[in-house]
């Protein structure tokens, strides 16, 4: 199935979650090298925009996701700007450092990851959302995962996403929950 992303970390994670039932193919693997637009003000708008763009280009069933980290003390930021919070370079370390700087001395460190997936199948759109509540730590912990994983500890767990085995993170994560809904939908689709 065509996945409207250029982020190889997401591709690898989603492929593991989907298993052998579906092969994830990116636009780049089909020869498309340009950017996929994401100019929406919400995760839902971005996921929908990316899915529609790729569907119009290729005319095939496809899906797109948008994911964001929402921090209560920052009024939901970085949110839709999570990947480019510290600049257009999409530097994960710089993004985390900016978050930690803005939260310096702040005691309310509640946050959540949200992932919205939009699937276009037979010309119809379907949306799935996963979320996981947690908190932002004061420093980086762990080397697994990507993005903000080293500073995000999910509620009820003693470690960050970056300290967890990949299988455990995928089972708990926002993207894992959204993909689980996607897989269930596809399994029931007639």
The lowest-confidence range among 75-84, 98-107, 165-174 is 165-174
- CATH code where residue 149 lies: 3.90.950.10
Number of structural domains (the chain) is 1
Residue by residue, what is the 3-state secondary structure of 24-81? CECHHHHCCCCCCCCCCCCHHHHHHHHHHHHHHHHCCCEEEEEEEEEEHHHCCCEHHH
Cα 2 to Cα 89: distance, rounded to the nearest angstrom: 25
**Does residue 109 contact residue 175 with C-beta atoms inside 8 Å?**
no
The secondary structure of the chain in percent helix, strand, coil, rounded to multiples of 5, reads 45, 20, 35
For residue range 106-141, list pLDDT tens digits in order. Answer: 999 999 999 999 999 998 999 999 999 999 999 999
Cα 126 to Cα 145: distance, rounded to the nearest angstrom: 27
Q: Give the global pTM.
A: 0.91
Averaged pLDDT of the chain: 93
* pLDDT at residue 190 tops 70: no
* pLDDT at residue 148 tops 70: yes
Catalytic residues: 66
Range of the domain at 144: 2-188
């Amino acid at each position: 199935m065509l996945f409207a992303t250029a982020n190889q970390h997401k591709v690898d994670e989603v492929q593991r979650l989907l298993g052998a039932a579906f092969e994830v193919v990116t636009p780049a693997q089909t020869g498309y090298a340009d950017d996929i637009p994401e100019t929406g003000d919400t995760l839902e708008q971005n996921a929908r925009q990316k899915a529609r763009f790729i569907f119009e280009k290729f005319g095939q069933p496809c899906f797109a996701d948008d994911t964001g980290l929402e921090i209560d003390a920052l009024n939901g930021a970085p949110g839709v700007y999570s990947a480019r919070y510290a600049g257009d370079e999409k530097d994960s370390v710089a993004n985390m450092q900016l978050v930690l700087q803005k939260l310096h001395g702040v005691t309310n460190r509640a946050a959540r990851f949200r992932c919205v997936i939009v699937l276009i199948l037979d010309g119809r759109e379907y949306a799935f959302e996963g979320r996981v509540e947690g908190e932002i730590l004061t420093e980086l912990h762990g080397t697994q995962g990507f993005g903000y994983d080293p500073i995000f500890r999910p509620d009820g767990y003693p470690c960050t996403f970056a300290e967890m085995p990949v299988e455990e993170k995928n089972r708990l994560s926002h993207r894992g929950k959204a993909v689980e809904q996607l897989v269930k939908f596809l399994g029931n689709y007639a």
